[in-house]
Amino acid sequence: MTVRDPDEANGVGGAHATSGGHDPDEGGHFGPYGGRFMPEALISAQDELAEEYDKARNDPEFVAELDRLLRDYAGRPSPLTEAERFGAHAGGARVLLKREDLNHTGSHKINNVLGQALLVKRMGKRRVIAETGAGQHGVATATACALLDLDCVIYMGATDTERQALNVARMRLLGAEVRPVNTGSATLKDAINEALRDWVTNVADTHYLLGTAAGAHPFPLMVRNLHKVIGQEAREQVLRSTGELPDAVLACVGGGSNAIGVFHGFVDDPGVRLIGMEAGGHGLDSGEHGAALTSGTPGTLHGARSYLLQDEDGQIAEAYSISAGLDYPGVGPEHAWLADSGRAEYRAVTDEEAMEAFKLLSRTEGIIPAIESAHALAGALRLGRELGPDAVLLVNLSGRGDKDMDTAAHYFGLVPEAGITGEDQQ
Amino acid sequence: MSLEDVFRTCAAQRRAALIGYLPAGFPTMPESVELLEAMVRGDGDTPGCDIVEVGLPYSDPVMDGPTIQAASGQALRNGFRVRQLFDAVSAVAAAGAAPVVMSYWNPIHRYGPDAFAGDLRAAGGLGLITPDLIPEEAGEWTAASNRHGLDRIFLVAPSSSERRLALTAEAGSGFLYAASVMGVTGARDSVSGSARDLVRRTREHTSLPIGVGLGVRDAEHAAEVGRFADGVIVGSAFITRAEREGATGAGAFAGELARGLRAEPASTAER
Ligand SMILES: Cc1ncc(COP(=O)(O)O)c(C=O)c1O
């Protein structure tokens, strides 16, 4: 493993400043993954973005402005909470929660969005487009655009605008235009396709604010660096509260942004296991899941080579998960590289396991997690039972569950008109 | 016959080559073969396409507008499989035009670039147009296409820098595909001024023929583009016509376009 540049470990600003030992090559390749499988028409914009981002992350003024927003607007640093009563169910292991759910807009997404939105200002562009699945990234993007006075258009699969009607209302309240996408499977991947079509048409004045650590270079690198603050804070916080490094760091993986952010705090600590939990949906055998790393194959999607769900002909498969944020057939290229190299492990958690963990955290800690994050919690329950009471597990609680109350109410039959039980859904 | 020969023959006739696009398997496999044959045949008065781009229907066509998206989707829903592509390619070759394939990279990566190149060549295919593969990522394809003697047709766009135009021209062969506007495929109301400009800029870097695509709607557009480009690429408009009038319509449209290109001898000053 490469040795980390010592400058990199210092404070929040350090997250942006250096190239470090884990950066992709100039073309954005992490080993055989990543790169730029993009229309030529967009390459000049990707070049401009890579160049501007590189300047920005080495510009003390930019870094200071971002740090200020992260602190005063988003509420960083996010706390670390020990979940004792929850840990009792995880074989008695110590479970520490990194509370990204307490950030403004309710998830880790704000870290990336504030960074990119500042970059948009710097590039002198006026219009921002983004995709969203559950609506979390859309809401975060609309929020940053309201704050920084940018025009905002959000593409969202028509299936999701129905499933997440309240988030559509939030985005509109924040001044964004929400465009439902009816093409393909009318979910997240099609929203990304439509955003790319908009971008290729309007690239001169428009930035595509991608919401996860996937896509063509420089997105996987840039989004990862903007989320590294999660891992850097968590490492210090865990050391302070336990005097040691955790045995494992767990995070859910959709496109992989919260996971890569928290992993990067520990990637040079060889004793710390990095474990990504993917959406197992109705089980890997059912074919209805979102587990690109655990059961996909290499290919190219949305601009990068990585693992993805596809059929024999290379047609992209539809993903499935009870959590809209993990309902994506691809995954960021750095995760593919970490998986192949063995530095990180990836496992799948079913809807049922995730929903059990969702309920358990609510009942034992008074914290309602996002269903995405509940996948990471389910991973901790499993791993704690494997490792026993001496284990220290850090879980990235990537978001809060307010947005999921409708799903949960139906799943658990919590409201009279929603009489569907978990069993009925299986 | 090579792509170079096709462009040379057209140039000798002082006209641009007509390049038609249709997804294989649209709306069904047998119907797509009929449509492709008609596109080559023309309307009895004038022969049709010199080159045909056979499209490989793909689940996530990010460079395509609504018309081609819908046509590809229909082909897939009707059960199109990648191996059938080669039957469509053979049909074009048998009808007497030069077949190339236009495909996003993932299905080819999945098929295996070398196997794909071998099967394409065996079917009579001459090259591959790659809308989401830039030269920097094309190492595997360069090796496979060299091994099997296929042309590599890359795209250039109005946003391409001089450096990228040079690099792309250097990496490509057969012809260069100039995307006339910033945007996705689809018929447009007028020919954009950026097309002429892009062709002019590209010529400074290459002697390869240049085909202009995106937005060509009718014979009048085609004639206009044919005055400054070596090839005129028509896709969405063929699909729309085929949907309305079937193979007869596709053949008639090919004839109209071809006549448009032959109407006025192209001024050699511009070409
Ligand atoms: C709370 C939360 N966690 C996780 C994710 C998954 O994204 P990623 O894998 O990029 O962290 C989402 C996406 O919407 C989310 O809202």
**Which tens digits make up the pLDDT trace of A383-407?**
999 999 999 999 999 999 999 999 9
Pair type for strands A127-132 and A151-157: parallel
Same fold: A29-73+109-219 with A80-106+227-411: yes
- Report chain A's terminal Cα–Cα distance, integer Å: 42
User: pLDDT-derived band of residue A417, with 50, 70 and 90 as boundaries?
Assistant: low
For residue B268, tell me if it sits in a domain: no
Q: In terms of CA atoms, which chain B residue is nearest residue A196?
A: B62
Residue B170 dihedral angles phi and psi, to the nearest 5°: -65, -40
Statement: residue B227 has pLDDT above 90: yes
Question: Residue A107 carries which side chain, given as an amino acid letter?
Answer: S
C-alpha atoms less than 13 angstroms from C-alpha of B105 in its C-beta half-sphere: 28
Q: Which of A253, A262, A326, A405 to mutate to test the pocket of ligand 1 (most atoms within 8 A of CB)?
A: A326
**CATH match of A80-106+227-411 with 3.40.630.30:** no
SS3 B177: strand
The residues, any chain, with a CB within 8 Å of residue A215's CB and separated by 6 or more, are A302, A303, A304
Task: Record the tokens describing residue A48, joined without a space.
Answer: 């401009």
Choose among B69, B137, B179: nearest Cβ to A37: B137
> For residue B114, with 0-12 CB atoms within 10 Å meaning exposed, 13-18 middle and 19 or more buried, which class applies?
middle
pLDDT reported for residue A278: 98
Task: Record the tokens describing residue A55, joined without a space.
Answer: 């300047």
User: pLDDT-derived band of residue A1, with 50, 70 and 90 as boundaries?
Assistant: very low
Range of the domain at B42: 3-263
Instruction: Work out how many domains chain B is built from and give that number.
Output: 1
Residue B129: give its domain's CATH number. 3.20.20.70
A109 is a catalytic site residue: yes
User: pLDDT-derived band of residue B264, with 50, 70 and 90 as boundaries?
Assistant: low
A48 is a catalytic site residue: no
- Within 10 Å of residue A48's Cβ, how many Cβ atoms? 15
- Which percentage of chain A shows pLDDT scores above 70? 93
User: pLDDT-derived band of residue A17, with 50, 70 and 90 as boundaries?
Assistant: very low
For residue B99, tell me if it sits in a domain: yes
pLDDT reported for residue B219: 94
Statement: residue A41 has pLDDT above 70: yes
Measured CA to CA in angstroms, residue A129 lies from A145, A186, A209, A352, B90 at distances of 10, 17, 6, 34, 42
Q: In terms of CA atoms, which chain B residue is nearest residue A305?
A: B106
C-alpha–C-alpha distance, residues A209 and A134, integer Å: 16
Task: Record the tokens describing residue B68, joined without a space.
Answer: 């081609």
List A117's β-bridge partners, or say none. Answer: none
Matching CATH number, A29-73+109-219, of 3.40.228.10, 3.40.50.970, 3.40.50.1100, 3.40.50.2300: 3.40.50.1100
List B235's β-bridge partners, or say none. Answer: none
pLDDT reported for residue B1: 84
Collect all residues of chain A within an 8 Å Cβ-Cβ radius of residue B69: 183
Choose among A35, A45, A203: nearest Cβ to B137: A35
For residue B269, tell me if it sits in a domain: no
C-alpha atoms less than 13 angstroms from C-alpha of A372 in its C-beta half-sphere: 31
Interchain proximity B136–A41, CB inside 8 Å: no
For residue B270, tell me if it sits in a domain: no
Collect all residues of chain A within an 8 Å Cβ-Cβ radius of residue B111: 313-314
Instruction: Confirm whether the ipTM is greater than 0.90.
Output: yes
pLDDT reported for residue A3: 36
Q: Which of A98, A109, A125, A189 is catalytic?
A: A109
- Within 10 Å of residue B193's Cβ, how many Cβ atoms? 11
Interchain proximity B63–A39, CB inside 8 Å: yes
Choose among A38, A312, A315: nearest Cβ to B134: A38
What pLDDT digit, counting tens, does each position of A351-388 carry? 999 999 999 999 999 999 999 999 999 999 999 999 99
Statement: residue A158 has pLDDT above 80: yes
Statement: residue B266 has pLDDT above 90: no
DSSP state of A250: E
Statement: residue A91 has pLDDT above 90: yes
What pLDDT digit, counting tens, does each position of B29-81 carry? 999 999 999 999 999 899 999 999 999 999 999 999 999 999 999 999 999 99
Statement: residue B180 has pLDDT above 90: no
What pLDDT digit, counting tens, does each position of A292-308 carry? 999 999 999 999 999 99
Statement: residue A193 has pLDDT above 90: yes
Statement: residue A11 has pLDDT above 60: no
Q: In terms of CA atoms, which chain B residue is nearest residue A311?
A: B110
pLDDT reported for residue A70: 98
Task: Record the tokens describing residue A18, joined without a space.
Answer: 């250096």
Residue owning tokens 């250096």: A18
Task: Record the tokens describing residue A81, joined without a space.
Answer: 């909470």
**How many residues can be counted in chain B?**
271
For residue B11, tell me if it sits in a domain: yes
CA A372–ligand 1 middle distance (angstroms):
6
- How many residue pairs from chains A and B have C-beta atoms closer than 8 A? 117
Residue owning tokens 């660096």: A225
Residue B235 dihedral angles phi and psi, to the nearest 5°: -120, -75
Interchain proximity B160–A300, CB inside 8 Å: no
Q: Whole-model pTM?
A: 0.94
Taking the CA of residue B182 and the nearest CA in chain A, the distance in Å comes to 5
The domain locations on chain A are 29-73+109-219, 80-106+227-411
Collect all residues of chain B within an 8 Å Cβ-Cβ radius of residue A197: 62-63, 65, 183-184
- Edge to edge, the sheet with strand A304-308 lists A29-30, A33-34, A304-308, A297-301
pLDDT reported for residue A164: 85
Residue owning tokens 């890997």: A284
Q: Which of residues 136-195 of B touch A (CB under 8 A)?
A: 136-137, 154-161, 164, 168, 179, 182-184
